Structure 1
Amino acid sequence: MATRREILAAAIAAPALVAPAVACAAPAFACLPMAVSPQWRDAVARLDAASAAHDAYYEATYEPAWETAKAAVRHADEQLQRRLDAIPHYTTSLVYETADGHLAHLTTANKQHVSAAIGSANLTVMDDYVLCCRELVMLIGKRIFQERDIKAEFEQPKVYPAQLIPPEITREEKRLQDASHAAFKDVYSFAAATPADLIAKIEFLQSRDIDIDHDQMLADLRRVFGEV
Protein backbone atom coordinates (compact mmCIF):
# COMPACT_ATOMS: atom_id res chain seq x y z
CA MET A 1 0.00 0.00 0.00
CA ALA A 2 1.35 3.44 -0.95
CA THR A 3 2.29 5.82 1.83
CA ARG A 4 1.03 9.40 2.12
CA ARG A 5 4.45 10.57 0.98
CA GLU A 6 4.31 8.38 -2.12
CA ILE A 7 0.73 9.42 -2.92
CA LEU A 8 1.48 13.13 -2.62
CA ALA A 9 4.69 12.80 -4.62
CA ALA A 10 2.75 10.99 -7.34
CA ALA A 11 0.08 13.71 -7.32
CA ILE A 12 2.71 16.37 -7.80
CA ALA A 13 4.24 14.49 -10.70
CA ALA A 14 0.87 13.66 -12.28
CA PRO A 15 0.38 16.86 -14.34
CA ALA A 16 3.37 15.93 -16.47
CA LEU A 17 1.60 12.72 -17.47
CA VAL A 18 -1.81 14.15 -18.27
CA ALA A 19 -1.16 15.87 -21.56
CA PRO A 20 1.81 16.89 -23.73
CA ALA A 21 0.89 20.53 -23.16
CA VAL A 22 2.23 20.40 -19.61
CA ALA A 23 5.02 17.95 -20.18
CA CYS A 24 7.47 20.81 -20.18
CA ALA A 25 6.70 21.40 -16.52
CA ALA A 26 8.14 18.06 -15.49
CA PRO A 27 11.79 19.19 -15.33
CA ALA A 28 10.81 22.08 -13.06
CA PHE A 29 9.13 19.76 -10.53
CA ALA A 30 11.90 17.23 -10.87
CA CYS A 31 14.32 19.88 -9.71
CA LEU A 32 12.34 20.73 -6.59
CA PRO A 33 14.17 19.64 -3.43
CA MET A 34 12.63 16.64 -1.68
CA ALA A 35 14.30 17.49 1.64
CA VAL A 36 12.41 19.72 4.02
CA SER A 37 13.42 23.37 4.10
CA PRO A 38 15.41 24.98 6.92
CA GLN A 39 12.35 27.13 7.64
CA TRP A 40 10.22 24.06 8.34
CA ARG A 41 12.91 22.48 10.49
CA ASP A 42 13.26 25.72 12.46
CA ALA A 43 9.49 25.97 13.01
CA VAL A 44 9.32 22.39 14.30
CA ALA A 45 12.43 22.89 16.46
CA ARG A 46 10.88 26.00 18.04
CA LEU A 47 7.71 24.05 18.77
CA ASP A 48 9.63 21.15 20.30
CA ALA A 49 11.67 23.53 22.47
CA ALA A 50 8.64 25.54 23.59
CA SER A 51 6.64 22.41 24.39
CA ALA A 52 9.54 20.88 26.30
CA ALA A 53 10.02 24.08 28.32
CA HIS A 54 6.35 24.21 29.26
CA ASP A 55 6.16 20.50 30.10
CA ALA A 56 9.29 20.69 32.26
CA TYR A 57 8.03 23.72 34.20
CA TYR A 58 4.58 22.21 34.61
CA GLU A 59 5.98 18.95 35.96
CA ALA A 60 8.65 20.46 38.20
CA THR A 61 6.86 23.56 39.51
CA TYR A 62 3.23 24.08 38.56
CA GLU A 63 1.92 20.58 39.25
CA PRO A 64 3.48 20.37 42.76
CA ALA A 65 2.03 23.83 43.53
CA TRP A 66 -1.36 22.64 42.30
CA GLU A 67 -1.21 19.53 44.48
CA THR A 68 -0.20 21.63 47.50
CA ALA A 69 -3.13 23.97 46.87
CA LYS A 70 -5.54 21.05 46.53
CA ALA A 71 -4.26 19.63 49.81
CA ALA A 72 -4.84 22.99 51.53
CA VAL A 73 -8.44 23.14 50.30
CA ARG A 74 -9.01 19.52 51.27
CA HIS A 75 -7.53 20.14 54.75
CA ALA A 76 -9.92 23.05 55.37
CA ASP A 77 -12.89 20.93 54.31
CA GLU A 78 -11.75 18.03 56.48
CA GLN A 79 -11.22 20.32 59.47
CA LEU A 80 -14.77 21.66 59.15
CA GLN A 81 -16.17 18.14 58.84
CA ARG A 82 -14.25 17.01 61.93
CA ARG A 83 -15.75 19.88 63.92
CA LEU A 84 -19.24 19.01 62.71
CA ASP A 85 -18.74 15.34 63.46
CA ALA A 86 -17.64 16.26 67.00
CA ILE A 87 -21.00 17.87 67.86
CA PRO A 88 -22.36 15.66 70.65
CA HIS A 89 -25.62 13.78 70.42
CA TYR A 90 -28.25 14.26 73.06
CA THR A 91 -30.65 11.90 74.80
CA THR A 92 -33.97 12.90 76.30
CA SER A 93 -34.23 13.12 80.05
CA LEU A 94 -37.85 12.01 79.71
CA VAL A 95 -38.81 8.43 79.01
CA TYR A 96 -41.79 6.67 77.53
CA GLU A 97 -43.12 3.16 77.91
CA THR A 98 -42.59 0.87 74.94
CA ALA A 99 -45.10 -1.73 73.74
CA ASP A 100 -43.26 -4.44 75.69
CA GLY A 101 -43.40 -2.44 78.92
CA HIS A 102 -39.84 -1.09 78.94
CA LEU A 103 -38.97 2.53 79.62
CA ALA A 104 -36.97 4.12 76.82
CA HIS A 105 -35.33 7.41 75.91
CA LEU A 106 -35.09 9.05 72.51
CA THR A 107 -31.74 10.18 71.14
CA THR A 108 -30.48 12.40 68.33
CA ALA A 109 -28.02 9.64 67.45
CA ASN A 110 -30.84 7.49 66.13
CA LYS A 111 -32.19 8.64 62.76
CA GLN A 112 -35.46 6.79 63.32
CA HIS A 113 -35.94 8.56 66.64
CA VAL A 114 -35.25 11.91 64.98
CA SER A 115 -37.70 11.27 62.15
CA ALA A 116 -40.40 9.97 64.50
CA ALA A 117 -39.97 12.90 66.93
CA ILE A 118 -40.29 15.49 64.18
CA GLY A 119 -43.45 13.79 62.96
CA SER A 120 -45.03 13.34 66.39
CA ALA A 121 -44.03 16.42 68.39
CA ASN A 122 -47.09 18.39 67.28
CA LEU A 123 -49.61 15.74 68.23
CA THR A 124 -52.21 17.02 70.67
CA VAL A 125 -52.15 13.82 72.71
CA MET A 126 -50.14 14.63 75.83
CA ASP A 127 -48.70 11.20 76.61
CA ASP A 128 -45.14 10.35 77.65
CA TYR A 129 -44.09 9.53 74.09
CA VAL A 130 -45.22 12.87 72.68
CA LEU A 131 -43.47 14.67 75.52
CA CYS A 132 -40.29 12.72 74.72
CA CYS A 133 -40.66 13.67 71.06
CA ARG A 134 -41.00 17.34 71.95
CA GLU A 135 -37.91 17.22 74.11
CA LEU A 136 -35.97 15.49 71.34
CA VAL A 137 -37.01 18.16 68.83
CA MET A 138 -35.56 20.78 71.18
CA LEU A 139 -32.33 18.77 71.37
CA ILE A 140 -32.25 18.47 67.56
CA GLY A 141 -32.54 22.24 67.38
CA LYS A 142 -29.67 22.59 69.85
CA ARG A 143 -27.43 20.54 67.54
CA ILE A 144 -28.55 22.58 64.52
CA PHE A 145 -27.56 25.82 66.27
CA GLN A 146 -24.18 24.35 67.19
CA GLU A 147 -23.64 23.27 63.58
CA ARG A 148 -24.56 26.75 62.37
CA ASP A 149 -22.08 28.40 64.77
CA ILE A 150 -19.25 26.11 63.63
CA LYS A 151 -19.95 26.74 59.96
CA ALA A 152 -19.96 30.49 60.68
CA GLU A 153 -16.36 30.16 61.94
CA PHE A 154 -15.34 28.64 58.59
CA GLU A 155 -17.56 30.90 56.52
CA GLN A 156 -15.67 32.39 53.58
CA PRO A 157 -15.98 32.52 49.80
CA LYS A 158 -15.42 29.18 48.13
CA VAL A 159 -11.70 28.76 47.51
CA TYR A 160 -10.42 26.75 44.54
CA PRO A 161 -6.92 25.27 44.28
CA ALA A 162 -5.96 27.59 41.39
CA GLN A 163 -6.53 30.59 43.66
CA LEU A 164 -3.95 29.31 46.14
CA ILE A 165 -1.12 28.81 43.66
CA PRO A 166 1.49 31.60 43.98
CA PRO A 167 0.74 34.17 41.23
CA GLU A 168 4.30 34.15 39.91
CA ILE A 169 4.00 30.41 39.23
CA THR A 170 0.67 30.89 37.47
CA ARG A 171 2.07 33.72 35.33
CA GLU A 172 5.13 31.74 34.29
CA GLU A 173 3.09 28.64 33.45
CA LYS A 174 0.77 30.75 31.30
CA ARG A 175 3.71 32.47 29.58
CA LEU A 176 5.26 29.13 28.67
CA GLN A 177 1.90 27.73 27.60
CA ASP A 178 1.26 30.76 25.37
CA ALA A 179 4.73 30.42 23.86
CA SER A 180 4.10 26.75 23.15
CA HIS A 181 0.73 27.54 21.57
CA ALA A 182 2.25 30.29 19.41
CA ALA A 183 4.97 27.90 18.21
CA PHE A 184 2.31 25.31 17.41
CA LYS A 185 0.33 27.88 15.39
CA ASP A 186 3.49 28.69 13.41
CA VAL A 187 3.82 25.03 12.43
CA TYR A 188 0.10 24.54 11.81
CA SER A 189 -0.10 27.60 9.54
CA PHE A 190 3.33 27.10 7.96
CA ALA A 191 3.23 28.26 4.33
CA ALA A 192 4.59 25.17 2.59
CA ALA A 193 6.12 26.01 -0.78
CA THR A 194 7.87 22.73 -1.64
CA PRO A 195 6.63 19.14 -1.92
CA ALA A 196 8.85 18.07 0.98
CA ASP A 197 7.50 20.76 3.31
CA LEU A 198 3.92 19.98 2.33
CA ILE A 199 4.42 16.27 2.96
CA ALA A 200 6.08 17.00 6.30
CA LYS A 201 3.24 19.33 7.26
CA ILE A 202 0.58 16.73 6.43
CA GLU A 203 2.49 14.08 8.37
CA PHE A 204 2.77 16.44 11.32
CA LEU A 205 -0.99 17.09 11.34
CA GLN A 206 -1.65 13.36 11.00
CA SER A 207 0.65 12.57 13.95
CA ARG A 208 -1.30 15.03 16.13
CA ASP A 209 -4.66 13.77 14.83
CA ILE A 210 -5.48 17.29 13.60
CA ASP A 211 -7.95 17.86 10.77
CA ILE A 212 -6.58 19.54 7.67
CA ASP A 213 -7.90 23.01 6.91
CA HIS A 214 -9.02 22.81 3.28
CA ASP A 215 -8.40 26.46 2.42
CA GLN A 216 -4.96 26.33 3.94
CA MET A 217 -4.12 23.11 2.11
CA LEU A 218 -5.28 24.58 -1.21
CA ALA A 219 -3.06 27.59 -0.62
CA ASP A 220 -0.11 25.28 0.08
CA LEU A 221 -0.80 23.28 -3.08
CA ARG A 222 -0.97 26.44 -5.15
CA ARG A 223 2.40 27.55 -3.83
CA VAL A 224 3.88 24.14 -4.53
CA PHE A 225 2.57 24.30 -8.12
CA GLY A 226 3.73 27.86 -8.53
CA GLU A 227 0.23 29.38 -8.86
CA VAL A 228 0.82 32.04 -6.22
Structure 2
Amino acid sequence: MKKITFVVATNNADKLSEIRDILKSVGCDCVSLKEAGIDIDVEETGATIQENSYIKAKAVFDLCGRPVIADDTGLFVDALDGEPGVKTARYAGDDHDFNKGVDKLLQNLSGVKKHADRAAHFASTATAILEDGSVLSATGEVDGYIGTERRGNAGFGYDPVFWLYNNVSLAEISAERKNQISHRGRSIRKLAFLLRRIKKVRG
Protein backbone atom coordinates (compact mmCIF):
# COMPACT_ATOMS: atom_id res chain seq x y z
CA MET A 1 0.00 0.00 0.00
CA LYS A 2 1.46 3.33 -1.03
CA LYS A 3 2.19 6.10 1.43
CA ILE A 4 -0.96 8.01 2.34
CA THR A 5 -1.00 11.78 2.58
CA PHE A 6 -4.04 12.94 4.50
CA VAL A 7 -5.70 16.30 4.21
CA VAL A 8 -6.42 17.20 7.83
CA ALA A 9 -9.61 19.25 8.13
CA THR A 10 -7.96 22.08 10.04
CA ASN A 11 -5.72 25.10 9.67
CA ASN A 12 -4.73 24.91 13.33
CA ALA A 13 -0.96 24.43 13.29
CA ASP A 14 -0.86 22.91 16.80
CA LYS A 15 -3.51 20.32 15.99
CA LEU A 16 -1.86 19.48 12.66
CA SER A 17 1.49 18.99 14.40
CA GLU A 18 -0.04 16.63 16.98
CA ILE A 19 -1.67 14.48 14.30
CA ARG A 20 1.35 14.52 11.98
CA ASP A 21 3.75 13.45 14.75
CA ILE A 22 1.69 10.37 15.53
CA LEU A 23 0.78 9.29 11.99
CA LYS A 24 4.35 9.46 10.70
CA SER A 25 4.93 6.32 12.79
CA VAL A 26 2.78 4.40 10.29
CA GLY A 27 4.25 6.07 7.22
CA CYS A 28 1.50 8.64 6.70
CA ASP A 29 1.91 12.34 6.04
CA CYS A 30 -0.50 15.20 6.68
CA VAL A 31 -1.25 18.58 5.13
CA SER A 32 -3.58 21.31 6.33
CA LEU A 33 -6.57 22.60 4.40
CA LYS A 34 -4.57 25.65 3.37
CA GLU A 35 -1.62 23.55 2.21
CA ALA A 36 -4.06 21.47 0.14
CA GLY A 37 -5.55 24.61 -1.42
CA ILE A 38 -8.93 24.03 0.19
CA ASP A 39 -11.08 26.84 1.56
CA ILE A 40 -14.09 25.45 3.38
CA ASP A 41 -16.02 26.25 6.52
CA VAL A 42 -18.03 23.21 7.55
CA GLU A 43 -21.13 23.78 9.66
CA GLU A 44 -21.00 21.39 12.60
CA THR A 45 -24.63 20.32 12.90
CA GLY A 46 -24.09 17.02 14.71
CA ALA A 47 -25.45 16.24 18.16
CA THR A 48 -22.24 14.45 19.17
CA ILE A 49 -18.52 14.83 18.55
CA GLN A 50 -18.65 11.57 16.59
CA GLU A 51 -21.22 13.03 14.21
CA ASN A 52 -19.34 16.30 13.81
CA SER A 53 -16.07 14.52 13.11
CA TYR A 54 -17.70 12.56 10.28
CA ILE A 55 -19.54 15.61 8.92
CA LYS A 56 -16.26 17.52 8.61
CA ALA A 57 -14.37 14.62 7.08
CA LYS A 58 -17.11 13.88 4.52
CA ALA A 59 -17.45 17.52 3.48
CA VAL A 60 -13.72 17.83 2.77
CA PHE A 61 -13.57 14.41 1.08
CA ASP A 62 -16.48 15.28 -1.21
CA LEU A 63 -14.69 18.48 -2.17
CA CYS A 64 -11.22 17.10 -2.89
CA GLY A 65 -11.53 13.33 -3.29
CA ARG A 66 -8.32 12.80 -1.32
CA PRO A 67 -7.77 10.90 1.94
CA VAL A 68 -9.04 13.05 4.80
CA ILE A 69 -8.82 13.13 8.58
CA ALA A 70 -11.12 15.27 10.70
CA ASP A 71 -11.54 15.36 14.43
CA ASP A 72 -13.94 16.92 16.85
CA THR A 73 -13.28 17.44 20.52
CA GLY A 74 -15.53 18.11 23.47
CA LEU A 75 -14.80 19.15 27.03
CA PHE A 76 -17.39 17.70 29.39
CA VAL A 77 -17.63 19.17 32.89
CA ASP A 78 -19.67 17.20 35.42
CA ALA A 79 -20.75 20.21 37.50
CA LEU A 80 -22.10 21.90 34.35
CA ASP A 81 -24.13 18.88 33.24
CA GLY A 82 -21.63 18.05 30.51
CA GLU A 83 -21.11 21.56 29.18
CA PRO A 84 -19.49 22.86 27.05
CA GLY A 85 -19.63 19.43 25.37
CA VAL A 86 -20.25 19.41 21.65
CA LYS A 87 -20.19 23.23 21.67
CA THR A 88 -16.71 23.44 23.22
CA ALA A 89 -15.18 25.47 20.37
CA ARG A 90 -18.15 27.85 20.31
CA TYR A 91 -18.75 28.05 24.06
CA ALA A 92 -18.35 31.82 24.19
CA GLY A 93 -19.52 32.59 20.65
CA ASP A 94 -19.15 31.56 17.03
CA ASP A 95 -15.71 33.19 16.67
CA HIS A 96 -14.03 30.11 18.25
CA ASP A 97 -12.18 32.34 20.72
CA PHE A 98 -10.83 29.87 23.27
CA ASN A 99 -9.64 32.62 25.62
CA LYS A 100 -13.23 33.78 25.95
CA GLY A 101 -14.33 30.18 26.36
CA VAL A 102 -11.86 29.64 29.19
CA ASP A 103 -13.01 32.85 30.87
CA LYS A 104 -16.65 31.74 30.64
CA LEU A 105 -15.81 28.28 31.97
CA LEU A 106 -13.92 29.64 34.98
CA GLN A 107 -16.74 32.08 35.69
CA ASN A 108 -19.38 29.35 35.52
CA LEU A 109 -17.36 27.26 37.99
CA SER A 110 -16.46 30.13 40.31
CA GLY A 111 -18.76 28.80 43.03
CA VAL A 112 -17.37 25.27 42.84
CA LYS A 113 -14.29 25.07 45.06
CA LYS A 114 -13.37 21.40 45.55
CA HIS A 115 -11.29 19.74 42.86
CA ALA A 116 -13.46 16.63 43.09
CA ASP A 117 -16.50 18.73 42.23
CA ARG A 118 -14.76 20.22 39.17
CA ALA A 119 -14.23 16.84 37.50
CA ALA A 120 -14.15 16.85 33.73
CA HIS A 121 -13.03 14.84 30.75
CA PHE A 122 -11.91 15.61 27.25
CA ALA A 123 -13.11 13.34 24.44
CA SER A 124 -11.91 13.43 20.86
CA THR A 125 -13.16 11.48 17.86
CA ALA A 126 -11.00 11.22 14.76
CA THR A 127 -12.52 10.12 11.46
CA ALA A 128 -10.47 9.10 8.44
CA ILE A 129 -11.88 8.64 4.96
CA LEU A 130 -9.54 6.79 2.62
CA GLU A 131 -9.27 7.30 -1.12
CA ASP A 132 -11.73 4.47 -1.82
CA GLY A 133 -14.29 5.97 0.55
CA SER A 134 -13.60 3.59 3.44
CA VAL A 135 -14.30 5.19 6.82
CA LEU A 136 -12.30 4.65 10.00
CA SER A 137 -13.17 6.19 13.35
CA ALA A 138 -11.61 6.21 16.80
CA THR A 139 -12.33 7.99 20.09
CA GLY A 140 -9.96 8.83 22.92
CA GLU A 141 -10.61 10.32 26.36
CA VAL A 142 -8.63 11.77 29.25
CA ASP A 143 -9.94 12.45 32.76
CA GLY A 144 -9.04 15.40 34.94
CA TYR A 145 -10.62 18.48 36.44
CA ILE A 146 -10.92 22.18 35.73
CA GLY A 147 -8.30 24.18 37.59
CA THR A 148 -8.98 27.55 39.17
CA GLU A 149 -6.48 29.37 36.95
CA ARG A 150 -4.56 29.05 33.71
CA ARG A 151 -1.25 27.20 33.94
CA GLY A 152 1.43 26.60 31.33
CA ASN A 153 2.34 27.99 27.93
CA ALA A 154 2.29 24.83 25.84
CA GLY A 155 -0.81 23.38 24.25
CA PHE A 156 -3.83 25.38 23.12
CA GLY A 157 -7.55 25.78 23.66
CA TYR A 158 -8.64 24.73 27.16
CA ASP A 159 -5.33 22.98 27.94
CA PRO A 160 -4.18 25.59 30.53
CA VAL A 161 -7.23 24.97 32.75
CA PHE A 162 -7.56 21.23 32.23
CA TRP A 163 -5.54 19.78 35.08
CA LEU A 164 -4.52 16.16 35.38
CA TYR A 165 -4.72 14.43 38.74
CA ASN A 166 -1.07 15.19 39.50
CA ASN A 167 -2.08 18.88 39.52
CA VAL A 168 -0.32 19.58 36.22
CA SER A 169 -2.24 21.12 33.34
CA LEU A 170 -2.15 19.84 29.76
CA ALA A 171 -0.35 23.10 28.91
CA GLU A 172 2.52 22.25 31.27
CA ILE A 173 3.61 18.96 29.74
CA SER A 174 5.81 18.26 26.72
CA ALA A 175 4.31 17.64 23.29
CA GLU A 176 5.64 14.07 23.41
CA ARG A 177 3.98 13.39 26.75
CA LYS A 178 0.75 15.05 25.63
CA ASN A 179 0.61 12.83 22.55
CA GLN A 180 0.83 9.82 24.88
CA ILE A 181 -1.97 10.75 27.26
CA SER A 182 -4.25 13.35 25.68
CA HIS A 183 -7.67 12.66 24.22
CA ARG A 184 -6.54 13.57 20.69
CA GLY A 185 -3.30 11.65 21.08
CA ARG A 186 -5.25 8.55 22.11
CA SER A 187 -7.78 8.83 19.28
CA ILE A 188 -5.09 9.37 16.65
CA ARG A 189 -2.99 6.49 17.99
CA LYS A 190 -6.05 4.23 17.74
CA LEU A 191 -6.53 5.48 14.19
CA ALA A 192 -2.86 4.78 13.45
CA PHE A 193 -3.36 1.21 14.70
CA LEU A 194 -6.30 0.75 12.30
CA LEU A 195 -4.28 2.21 9.42
CA ARG A 196 -1.39 -0.13 10.17
CA ARG A 197 -3.73 -3.12 10.02
CA ILE A 198 -5.19 -1.95 6.71
CA LYS A 199 -1.72 -1.49 5.26
CA LYS A 200 -0.83 -5.06 6.22
CA VAL A 201 -3.99 -6.45 4.63
CA ARG A 202 -3.75 -4.42 1.43
CA GLY A 203 0.03 -4.66 1.13
TM score, norm. by length of structure 1: 0.21
Higher percent of residues as helix:
1
- Find the structure with the greater CA-based Rg: 1
Q: Highest relative contact order (Cα 8 Å, sep 6+), 1 or 2?
A: 1
Higher percent of residues as strand:
2
TM score, norm. by length of structure 2: 0.22
